Amino acid sequence: MANIAAKRIKREFKEIMKSEEVIGGSIKLGLVNENWTELKGEIAGPVDTPYEGGTFLLEIKVPETYPFNPPKIRFLTKIWHPNVSSVTGAICLDILKDQWAAALTLRTVLLSLQALLSAGEPNDPQDAVVAKQFRENPRLFTMTARHWTNVYAGGPNIVHECNSKVQRMLDMGIDEHQARVALSSYDWDLERATEQLFG
């Protein structure tokens, strides 16, 4: 079994390196160890989304039973998205769970994840807080996602409003990421975010 997994990953690796997405730079794949059981993926944030310009790192673990079971994938880069946990990076995507098919490859999975960034699915959320904001306050959601992309994924769009509020909490002695999570979760209401952290 393990033999099939390693062999197939090798072939996929070769195939993906020749693919136009890799050549065009929109996805990347790299090895983490020599047994081909762990890889590192990278997807570019799709254009016309808050993730545009960001680079998102993915942890890819290939189970011994691959391709009969899906690879285990999570975001290493922190991201604000209704189907990705803002805490652990865990992904809620059907093809990584019950809808996995052996004919899917790492390339198709990475492309699906890119598509997920373009079209979040708040009715099947991984992160309830993000999903709620996505549904009820799309403007704030876009701003928050863009801000996270700027801070964690190297996106070029600086959101000054967010930065200044995070700075305000930093001045109170709060950890930067904690401050950002609290502010993002409370729709950038400085008072409620502070209350939550100190209460």
Partner 1 sequence: MDRNRAKDASEGIAPMGITALNETVLSNQPESRYECPVCLNWLRDPVITTCGHKFCKSCITSWLQNSGHCPIDNINLSMKVDIFPDNYTKREIQEQRMNCPFSAKGCTVKVTPLDLDAHIAVCEYNQPETSSQPEIHIPCSFKPAGCKETFDSQDEMNQHLNNDTQSHMNLLMNAYSEMKINNDMSNANMDTKEQEAMALWDAPDKDGNQTSSPPLNNTSALIRALYERVVVLEQRNREQDIVIANISKQLSAFAVAKMKQNNEMLLRYCMGNYVWRIDNFKTRLDAMLKDHYKMLYSPGFYTSPNGYRFCVRLNISPQNTHFFALHVHLMKTENDDCLEWPFNGRISFVLVNQVYPELSQRDTMMSNTNLKAFSKPATEICVRGFGYTEYAVLGDVIRNGFVKDDVLIIRVNIKCV
Task: Give catalytic residues, as residue numbers.
Answer: 92
Query: b/e string for 94-131 if b means 16 or more Cβ within 10 A?
Result: eebeeebeeebbbbebbbebbebbeebbbeebbbebbb
**Site residues for partner 1 per CB under 8 A:** 1, 3-4, 6-8, 10-15, 34, 36, 67-69, 101-105, 171-173
Q: How far is CA 60 from CA 111, 126, 136, 142, 177, in A?
A: 14, 18, 32, 27, 24
Q: How far is the CB of 144 from partner 1 (least distance, A)?
A: 25
Q: Give DSSP secondary structure letters for 50-94.
A: TTTT-EEEEEEE--TTTTSSPPEEEESS---BTTB-TTT-BB--G
Q: Give me the least distance between CB of 196 and partner 1, in Å please.
A: 17
**CB neighbours of residue 157 within 10 Å:** 13
- By C-beta, is 65 or 164 nearer to partner 1? 65
In the complex, the smallest distance separating the C-beta of residue 165 from partner 1, rounded to whole angstroms, is: 17
Pairwise CA distance, residues 163 & 167, whole Å: 6
Nearer to partner 1, 159 or 179 (CB): 179
Q: Are 194 and 180 in contact (CB under 8 A)?
A: no
Q: Which is nearer to partner 1, 111 or 129 (CB)?
A: 111
Closest CB to partner 1 among 105 and 126? 105
Question: Least separation, in Å, of the C-beta of 13 and partner 1?
Answer: 8
Which tokens go with 36? 């081909």
